[in-house]
């Protein structure tokens, strides 16, 4: 009888501990409890702000391509191979925003772009060209060529990831990195952001929070860094003993626990 009670108590303890740990793993827990009205009020994704270090692709187009050619940085001849060999032109219009927040465009000269959005820069270039230089309203397109985010820490594939469509949220960034390791802390993810004025913003994010998508940091900006901390157990094992020693200690601990359990059971069964 005493043996059965002991085994049941140990099983209940293990089950309770397992349940408590499992509650820390799922993202956005109890999200079904959030009223639908809350999600409809989610903040609109802010347009990205241009800042020093950005690499911009600025293309100016019009019906008369010759008239806008001077405003495109450089045009080179390239060979393209399809069903047959043909020759064409590829526009390379990359501009690096310098430390003072400026770029140099052909004809227009030096432009202060720091703090502008893409649409604001497109409109500014359009107004500078028409009607002063050409007689047709040009089409101006600005793209970020180096829109990337970094995910580091306790994830499967830490690294930097380029985002072609210039839009990514926190969960998508984590998915790119292969998700968090089971030992990664989900309740204290660190975000580091470099603002347009050069200042830095840090924020702590709880992935377990059911209102995660309402966070102003849910949608990421270019050059954001996401850091996932390991839990205390993994951190302690990483820095207190070498990996091989940790394995040996873990095996010894399991063996001792099993021996202790057997001795206890035998004692109570007498």
- The C-alpha torsion from 241 through 19 and 151 to 227, rounded to 10°, is -60
**Predicted local confidence at residue 51, as pLDDT:** 92
**Predicted local confidence at residue 109, as pLDDT:** 94
CA 82, 83, 88: angle at the middle one, nearest 5? 45
Pairing relation of β-strands 109-112 and 139-144? unpaired
Query: 95 vs 110, 166, 224, 244, CA distance in Å?
Result: 11, 17, 21, 50
**Predicted local confidence at residue 138, as pLDDT:** 96
**Predicted local confidence at residue 238, as pLDDT:** 65
- What is the CATH T-level fold of the domain 55-144, as seen in this structure? wza like fold (3.30.1950)
- Domain edges within the chain: 31-46+147-230, 55-144, 235-269
C-alpha 115/C-alpha 108 separation (Å) is 19
C-alpha 236/C-alpha 226 separation (Å) is 22
Q: Count Cβ atoms below 10 Å from residue 186 Cβ, excluding itself.
A: 20
**Predicted local confidence at residue 23, as pLDDT:** 55
C-alpha 70/C-alpha 68 separation (Å) is 6
pTM over 0.75: no
**Predicted local confidence at residue 47, as pLDDT:** 85
Question: What is the CATH code for 31-46+147-230?
Answer: 3.10.560.10
**Predicted local confidence at residue 255, as pLDDT:** 53
**Predicted local confidence at residue 12, as pLDDT:** 46
**Predicted local confidence at residue 232, as pLDDT:** 81
**Predicted local confidence at residue 196, as pLDDT:** 80
Give 243's Cβ-side CA count (13 Å radius).
0
* Residues in a beta bridge with 180: 155
**Predicted local confidence at residue 257, as pLDDT:** 57
Helix-strand-coil percent breakdown of the chain, rounded to 5?
A: 35, 25, 40
**DSSP SS3 for 239:** helix
Per-run averaged pLDDT (10 residues), the chain, 270 residues: 51 44 62 64 76 93 93 60 45 82 94 95 96 94 94 96 93 95 93 88 93 89 94 71 50 54 54
**Predicted local confidence at residue 180, as pLDDT:** 94
C-alpha 105/C-alpha 254 separation (Å) is 68
């Amino acid at each position: 009888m005493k043996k059965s009670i002991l085994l049941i108590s140990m099983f209940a303890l293990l089950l309770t501990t397992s349940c408590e740990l499992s509650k820390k793993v799922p993202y956005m827990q109890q999200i079904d409890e959030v009223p639908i009205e809350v999600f409809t009020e989610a903040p609109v994704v802010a347009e990205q702000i241009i800042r020093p270090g950005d690499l911009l692709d600025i293309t100016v187009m019009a019906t008369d391509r010759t008239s806008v050619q001077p405003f495109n940085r450089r045009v080179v001849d390239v060979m393209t191979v399809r069903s047959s060999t043909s020759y064409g032109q590829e526009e390379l219009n990359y501009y690096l925003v310098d430390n003072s927040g400026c770029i140099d465009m052909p004809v227009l000269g030096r432009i202060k772009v720091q703090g502008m959005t893409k649409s604001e820069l497109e409109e500014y270039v359009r107004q500078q060209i028409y009607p002063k230089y050409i007689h047709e309203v040009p089409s101006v397109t600005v793209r970020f060529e180096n829109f990337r985010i970094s995910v580091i820490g306790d994830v499967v594939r830490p690294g930097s990831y380029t985002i072609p469509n210039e839009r990514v949220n926190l969960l998508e960034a984590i998915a790119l990195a292969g998700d968090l390791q089971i030992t990664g802390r989900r309740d204290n993810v660190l975000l580091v952001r470099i603002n347009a004025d050069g200042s830095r913003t840090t924020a702590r994010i709880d992935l377990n929070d059911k209102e995660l998508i309402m966070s102003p940091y849910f949608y990421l900006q270019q050059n954001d860094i996401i850091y996932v901390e390991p839990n205390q157990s993994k951190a302690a094992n990483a820095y207190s003993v070498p990996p091989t020693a940790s394995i040996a200690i873990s095996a010894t601990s399991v063996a001792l626990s099993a021996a202790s359990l057997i001795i206890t059971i035998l004692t109570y069964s007498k």
